[in-house]
């Protein structure tokens, strides 16, 4: 059977399989092109609004609670900051299992990411509560901060008016005249049938499941523990 895309055939595959796989491969090529186009459009965004405040967060340094401003999250020579808002509010008995799974992954590759950009994980809970949970997960490479005493979460849509926490990711850029918001994962709030997919490109679990015959499904969800 002629293959117009490439000359590879897997062992034992049928012509029926190859025809269907070629159709899928063409769709995957188009998806790749669309991902590139979306990334290009994102890079071409003008600066968003200037940060509403130089928010004062809390962190723990050498066992002591310290204040750190939004502007201080930018290290020298790195003018971009990514902040992931972790769903762990003060009224939540446990953190969000999905956020926890995402951050488990972040902890593994953050040392690579921080070669290029600044990165922090924020939650609304007291900082000691955040770091106690982080220790139980062995999150030893992340910059963890608390927004308990500021309005960052509500200002950037990581908290609803009712106080529910939301899993937003935001990018800020530092310029000579201030800090600007550049991008937020607001796909979370766009109408969708099923999974909002706003964190898909940053959370490989669902992408792996999308490779399987079962797909990501609707019945399985991540847990804090599988014991």
Q: Check residue 58 and give its pLDDT.
A: 98
Domain ranges of the chain: 1-44, 56-186
pLDDT above 60 (res 93): yes
Nearest of 1, 32, 34 to residue 18 by alpha carbon: 1
| Mean predicted confidence (pLDDT) in 98-114 | 95
- What CATH code is assigned to 56-186? 3.40.30.10
Q: Which residues on neighbouring strands pair with residue 179, listed in sequence order?
A: 174
Q: Check residue 3 and give its pLDDT.
A: 57
pLDDT above 60 (res 1): no
| Mean predicted confidence (pLDDT) in 208-224 | 86
d(CA 183, CA 92): 27
Q: Count other Cβ atoms within 10 Å, centred on residue 12.
A: 6
Contacts (Cβ under 8 Å, ≥6 apart) of 180: 47, 48, 49, 50, 51, 172, 173, 174
What are 39-83's pLDDT values in tens digits? 999 999 999 999 999 999 999 999 999 999 999 999 989 999 999
Name the pTM for this structure: 0.91
Q: Check residue 191 and give its pLDDT.
A: 86
């Amino acid at each position: 059977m002629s293959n117009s895309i490439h000359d590879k055939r897997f062992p034992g595959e049928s012509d029926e399989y190859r025809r269907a796989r070629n159709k899928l491969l063409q769709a995957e090529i188009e998806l790749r092109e669309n991902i590139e186009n979306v990334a290009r459009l994102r890079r071409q965004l003008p600066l968003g609004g200037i940060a509403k405040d130089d928010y004062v967060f809390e962190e723990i340094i050498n066992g002591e609670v310290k204040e750190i401003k939004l502007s201080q999250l930018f290290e020298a020579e790195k003018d971009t900051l990514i902040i992931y808002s972790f769903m762990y509010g003060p009224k939540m008995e446990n953190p969000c299992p999905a956020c926890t799974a995402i951050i488990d992954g972040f902890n593994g590759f953050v040392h690579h990411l921080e070669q290029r950009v600044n990165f922090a994980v924020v939650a609304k809970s007291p900082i000691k509560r955040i770091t106690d949970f982080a220790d139980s997960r062995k999150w030893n490479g992340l910059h963890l901060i608390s927004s308990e005493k500021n309005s960052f979460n509500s200002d950037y849509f990581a908290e609803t008016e009712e106080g529910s926490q939301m899993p937003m990711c935001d990018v800020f850029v530092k310029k000579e005249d201030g800090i600007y918001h550049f991008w937020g994962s607001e796909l979370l709030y766009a109408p969708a049938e099923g999974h909002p997919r706003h964190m898909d490109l940053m959370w490989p679990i669902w992408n792996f499941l999308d490779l399987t015959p079962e797909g990501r499904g609707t019945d399985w969800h991540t847990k804090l523990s599988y014991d």
